Each structure stands twice: as structure tokens, then as C-alpha cells.
Amino acid sequence: MPPISPMVKNLLIANVLVFLAVQALGTNSDFALQTILFPPSEEKFQVWQLVTHAFRHDGFQHLAFNMLGLYFLGPMVEQRIGPKKFLTLYFVALAGAVIFHLASPTISIWQMQQAYDVFMADPSLENFNAFFSGRDLRALVYGNQNAATAAGELEDLFAFGDYSGDVVAEASALMQQMMDYRRGAPMLGASGAVSGVAAAFAVLNPNTKLSPLFIPIGFPAKYFIPFLFLIDLVLGVLNLAGDNIAHFAHIGGAVFGALLAWYFVKTTVPPHMKRWS
């Protein structure tokens, strides 16, 4: 691996500085809330969030995972196409991640709508639980209480056979708020842009062998990296319980990064091959 390159170094520093600032100011501070990306349909949306969210991370592990990917793969991509084109690729991949992420709730909302319709046609404890299966309610406020508490109270009422109109209406309102919340779920992290860098690496260095962590077997990048994004696609479609990863953002970043890298392959002379005039 070549030494750390200029743009990769600057991006690493920027991400770490923003992370430290959030830790110092608090995750509920105005700075923290104004720098994650809310959907454009939300009142909290600000245009700068399209960029700032890529420098925000939900904890040290999230930051470390993304920065390690950038550190190991980024320098070789930057060395091949040059600093300016590398920075362009990074933010084009970020744009692809945003586009795919904002479109991705369609699948989840469709699944929730199907479960909602089943419950309304046949209100039962089983159908109520089926709607909320795998849904993280801890961050959602319903009325003057946490949505998880409200769901637990409704579950108790259904368990004791209370299917009165008021109780079903309350369950319906909670379900609709959950769907609204899913539509407005915020996004943060550099993973979409880093996915673009990874995909670009596979385009630019297809036969370079990469090894998964703690596995001493290398696989050509042209097979290994697409396989990782195939897993992302499967998990994004399955939408498994408790999975809060923005899989479609990864895919969007990878698609845009790979396409731009392919274009650069056709049009860019590697910096180390350029002659002095």
C-alpha cells in the first residue's frame, strides 16, 4: 500500500475533527442535529446536510470502520487518478449514496403498509406484533411518551382481549406515525462515499488481492468488492429486524464510484506516468 495520500489524509482529519466536535458538544446539540441528513420533505432538512452528513458518525466503531476503508483503499485510488479527480469521485459517490438512500424507504414503507392493512382488516395481537417486528421504537416519541412504551401498553390490551374501537384507533395512529418516521429517518456517515472509493479500487485495480479481516486468504478485488455489495443488496431487500444500516446508500455510492472510475480509466493518464514538459 502506498503512503497516505493528500486528499485521503485531509478527509480522515476532517471526519475525526467533526466526530470530536460532536462528542464535545453533545449528540443532541444544534450542531449535531443540523449536520445529519434529513429527507428534503422534512422541516429539519437543510441543503448543507447533503454534504455534512458524510462527516458525521454514530459512535467510534462507525467512524473507525469507514476511516479504515478509506485509509487502506483510498491512497491507491488517489495515486492512480490524482487528488482532484479523487475528491470529485468521493463526492460524486456521496451523491449516489444520497439518491439511492432517499429512494430506499419505498421498500420498507411498502412492507409496513401491507402489515398495516392486514391489521386493520383483522385487528389481533399477532398482526399487531407482525407490524412492529424488528422495528426500533426507542427513538420515536408518540404523544407524550416513548413509542416503545405506547406499543407495550397496546400489546397488553390486545393480550387481554381489548379490541375496542378506541384501542384499535390508537394502534392505527401509532402504526401511521411509525411509517411517517421511517419516511423521515435521518442519514449519517461516510460509508456511501467510501463505498464509491472501494468500487473505484475494484475498477482501477481489479486483480489486486484483498483479504477479509483476520482471514489470510486474498481474493481479487474485481470479485471480492462486488460480492460485498451483493450482500448489501440482499440485506437491503430483506430489511431484516434490527438492521439500521443504509445498505442502499452503499450500493448507490458504489454504482456512482464505479462508473466515474471507469470513465477516468479511459480518460486519465496516471500522475506517475506524466512527463515533465
For the chain, give every domain's residue range.
6-103+189-271, 106-183
CB 221 within 8 A of CB 118: no
pLDDT at residue number 17: 97
Question: What is d(CA 59, CA 189) in angstroms, rounded to the nearest whole number?
Answer: 10
> Which residues on adjacent β-strands are paired with residue 209?
220
Q: Say how many CA atoms lie within 13 Å of 256 toward its Cβ.
A: 25
Return the higher-pLDDT residue of 76 and 216.
Answer: 76
From its phi and psi, is residue 27 left (phi > 0), alpha (psi between -120 and 50) or beta?
Answer: alpha
Say which residues have a Cβ less than 8 Å from residue 174's Cβ, sequence separation at least 6: 142, 147, 150, 151, 154
Phi, psi of 51 (to 5 degrees): -105, -45
Question: 40 pLDDT exceeds 70?
Answer: yes
Q: Given CATH 1.20.1540.10, say whether it is the number of domain 6-103+189-271.
A: yes
Eight-class DSSP state of 29: S
* pLDDT tens, position by position, 87-120: 999 999 999 999 998 887 666 778 888 999 999 9
Question: What is d(CA 261, CA 159) in angstroms, rounded to the nearest whole number?
Answer: 56
Question: What is d(CA 147, CA 177) in angstroms, rounded to the nearest whole number?
Answer: 9
Question: 241 pLDDT exceeds 60?
Answer: no
Which of helix, strand or coil describes residue 41? coil
Maximum Cα interatomic distance, the chain, rounded to a whole number of Å: 85
Mean pLDDT across the chain:
88
How far from 99 is each of 50, 80, 96, 137, 246, CA to CA, in Å? 10, 27, 5, 25, 12
Is residue 126 very low, low, confident or very high in pLDDT (cuts 50, 70, 90)?
A: very high
**Among residues 14, 7, 12, which one has the least CA distance to residue 86?**
7
pTM of the model: 0.78
pLDDT at residue number 273: 57
Angle in degrees, CA 234, 237, 239, rounded to 5: 105
